[in-house]
Structure 1
């Protein structure tokens, strides 16, 4: 089990490890932790470690073919100003998968990485 002082890891299956590294480090503030491209890399943002597994990685090979597509699960990244982030990401050519949605906890929009994995960009409601 992961120790409390270690990063929590989430594996994302990607078609192109270098494209995923570029996307997460350039657009979402992750830093490159380990690069074994083209098979694998991991990037870190705060306590989150994304394991970017390309077609040649053991993580991808261990996944049954019928379970290999991007699902409805997603990473949840909190931002201070959603509108500013949307403008910045659109200008960079990012692929959004939803319109902005508002709810009791805040506002969000879904973004896709180059492999189609989802990222929720979320601005919480101000609390008094």
Structure 2
């Protein structure tokens, strides 16, 4: 996957995320209005926050490590950051599956509206890995 593909997927899922959270806001009447507004805000802020924190934060951290690290430790640090990006992606997939299975088991289908948040975590980790490989 290339950086352009990741960014394109992020934009597409951002639209899907917005539509799903709007559906939650306007159509799900079991929750009070204040709870629906809170869920709308948390889902949308979480989607963007996780993606930008992971994709930019890890890249900035890697640049700092590259500039301030000894050459003997640097290869180990690269491996650890890449391992961390893989771990992030695995956790995102597990969280996505758990979210879907919990929604099916409890029949609380409104919680599926947050399905894009783990996708943004996965995309953020993927973009961080691509940026680190490019900088390396």
TM-score w.r.t. the length of structure 2 is 0.31
Structure ranking higher in strand proportion: 1
The structure carrying a bigger helix percent of its residues is 2
- Structure number with greater Rg is 2
